[in-house]
Structure 1
Amino acid sequence: MTKLEEKTIRSEEIFSGKIISLHLQDVELPNGKQGKREIIKHPGAVAILAVTADNKVLMVEQYRKALERTIVEIPAGKLEKGEEPALCARRELEEETGYECENLELLTSFYTSPGFADEIVHVYLATGLTKKENAAALDEDEFVNLEELTLDEAEQYVKEQKIFDAKTIFAVQYLQLQEALKNK
């Protein structure tokens, strides 16, 4: 079996921004040759699959500048330094939807683009939802429209590419699987 690890010879941070940093690395490849890697460092994030008592999924429509369009997503947000993912999930749910949850369960965690980034997203299922009267406000540079979708509507949004990101497609497929298992 071939050893696959790449040894870092040198790493230089060439950009440090509000959310990400970019590092240029010289590496020794498994065959002994050298290569270069461009690595994005990210603090991680959470995403919340929030399901109401009447089986609707809370989603937010948000403009994504990188895509130059709006898409519909499950609520999500970046981890603050040292923040526990579950606390971040509760905070983001309240900020983006105005709801709080009684139950919060970690479904999975995954790397978004491991070929060039270390961002990990922790996906939670939130149930026992209650609308808060004085919910936390969105970040000052964040603007969203709240939507409550049935599973059928969410599936249609995927087909229409209104839902077009991995975390939200995962959430829809998770619900489809749960529905299929329930009807077995």
Structure 2
Amino acid sequence: MEFHEKTISSKNIFQGKIINLRIDDVSLPDGRTAYREIVEHNGGVAIVAVKDKKIVLVKQFRKPLDNTLVEIPAGKLEKNEEPQHCALRELEEETGLIPLNLKPLCSIFTSPGFSNERLHLFFADEFKEGALNRDDDEFMDILYVTLDSALEMIQSGEITDAKSICGILLYSQFIER
């Protein structure tokens, strides 16, 4: 059976700085119709940065969750920006570190049930010092933790962010060995 859904019509509902929202009417594989609410997002990057055998994490408040999260450094892609360029920019902005050996790990879709957002994960473990240059509305602390501590933070629920869990687990399985 073909599982493709054909778009019948599309209506833009909201155009924002970070996301757009549209509703598509679709034809299902069995001939029925349905609608899909779709969040459009330019995507982003996240970096597993390891300095002196410690993973660099940031702790920041996330309004959609009304809570503070511990995450690997990350940021959104500007329109037509290359993921590697974004990763270089975001890591320096958030941590003051400029990676000398940025390596791609993988790309993931964060919520494919309703969004096209794709995150590109990178790894770096050699740096030169740069300058913090956070956005005016960005407030965060920088943490340095061992791999074992990061894995314990995932297990205990202290790290709950999907991109961070994915990046740390990839690092533990493929890079650290």
TM-score of the two chains, using structure 1 as the length reference: 0.92
Per-residue CA distance 1:20-52 (angstroms, 9 max, x = gap): 011011000111111010000000100001111
CA distance in structure 2 between the partners assigned to 1:178 and 1:106 by the alignment: 12
What does residue 117 of structure 1 align with? Answer: 115
Matched, 1:46 2:45: yes
What does residue 87 of structure 1 align with? Answer: 85
Contact kept? 2:48, 2:171, Cα under 8 Å: no
Matched, 1:176 2:172: yes
Q: 1:55-134 maps to which residues of 2 (within 5 A)?
A: 55-132=53-130
Counting aligned pairs with the same residue, the percent is 47
What does residue 3 of structure 1 align with? Answer: 2
What does residue 133 of structure 2 align with? Answer: 137
Q: 1:147-162 maps to which residues of 2 (within 5 A)?
A: 147-162=143-158
Per-residue CA distance 1:138-166 (angstroms, 9 max, x = gap): 01111110011101111121123221111
Contact kept? 2:95, 2:132, Cα under 8 Å: no
CA distance in structure 2 between the partners assigned to 1:176 and 1:128 by the alignment: 17
Q: How many residues align?
A: 177
- Structure 1 unaligned segments of length 5 or more: list them: none
Contact kept? 1:46, 1:85, Cα under 8 Å: yes
SS at match of 2:36: strand
Contact kept? 1:48, 1:75, Cα under 8 Å: yes
- Structure 2 unaligned segments of length 5 or more: list them: none
After the TM superposition, which parts of structure 1 deviate over 6 Å for at least 4 consecutive aligned residues?
none
SS at match of 2:125: strand
